[in-house]
Amino acid sequence: MIELRPCASDADLEAWRRVRIAVIPYERTDSVEELRRNATPDRLMLLAYRDGVLAGSGVGGRSDTASGFAIPRVLPEQRRHGVGTTLLCALAEHVEALGYPDLGVSTDDEGSLAFARRFGFEEIGRQVEQVRAVAADEPLPRVPDGIEIVSLAVRPELHARTYHDLALAVFEDIPTPRKIEISLEDWKGSWFPTLDGSFAALAGDEIVGCAGLVRDVDRADRAENTLTAVRRDWRGRGLARALKETVVAWASANGIRELYTWTQTGNENMQAVSAKLGYVTGHVSISLRRPLPLPQHR
């Protein structure tokens, strides 16, 4: 028997994150505190049990592109017993009840891709992971003339300004199928959740770039790059590279030995910047979408 339970306690959230870690060990997973902090009324987090044993987890709700999403995950030893289908259908019903006309999912292996296609999902884009080993003595970058790169930990008043003065405009240029729409709360909670290791580039008093990282709470020597962005009129001058090199140097000085970043297909320029800095291609995540309602139990 398959039973679904909403996450209602810290113990539930820890079980949820342990499933995620088991299924995608190459990505950082939010801590229980982060999961609580970033919870929203429209987000449904589920645990799946098969015959009383934890078998999977899922989450569904509103995505950063103001559309519906669902992510079912099943532990490898529990697959092919209907757990994924049960999770997906429950999450799809939740998203449909929120009023979204379609549903987005993502896959990064052949099995989950075949599963999604059985339900009629069609590919709409891809995300490419790039990974870089960090040495213990990474150098500071050469910064373009007229630019000062400052730590948000030293200048915390720039945290919100970076969102208003830079990110909102940059989101217009990110090649996602739909425009990214996030609040200042989302920016502080999930996009740039920590000030240590996060930086803004200033031209005088104007914010013209940003970059940062967030540590993996389960692996202290690993971190994920957050948004690296440069204002349109400052692109092509080496600023993106300088920002990424600043983050690499900070990671080196603070005991981080691996960085990884995800970039959309269509943003090959940023992928090229990362490649020149020693990042190598890792996993590829495929984004898919289909109209709601979802066909049941196929």
Residue 105 · residue 69 · CB < 8 Å: yes
pLDDT tens digits, 61-119: 999 999 999 999 999 999 999 999 999 999 999 999 999 999 999 999 999 999 999 99
Supply the DSSP string of 142-176, one letter for each residue. Answer: PPPTT-EEEETTT-TTHHHHHIIIIIHHHHTTS--
pLDDT tens digits, 170-212: 999 999 888 999 999 999 999 999 999 999 999 999 999 999 9
Residue 102 phi/psi, 5-degree rounding, is -145, 175
Q: What per-residue confidence (pLDDT) applies to 232?
A: 96
User: 283 by DSSP, 3-state: which?
Assistant: strand
Tokens 């290791």: give the residue.
Answer: 197
Q: What per-residue confidence (pLDDT) applies to 75?
A: 98
Angle (nearest 5°) at CA 154 between 152 and 158:
40
Domains of the chain: 2-100 (3.40.630.30), 131-285 (3.40.630.30)
235-241: list long-range contacts, CB under 8 Å, 24+ apart: 237/144, 238/142, 238/144, 239/144, 239/147, 239/201, 239/208, 239/209, 240/209, 240/211, 240/270, 240/273, 241/141, 241/273, 241/276, 241/277
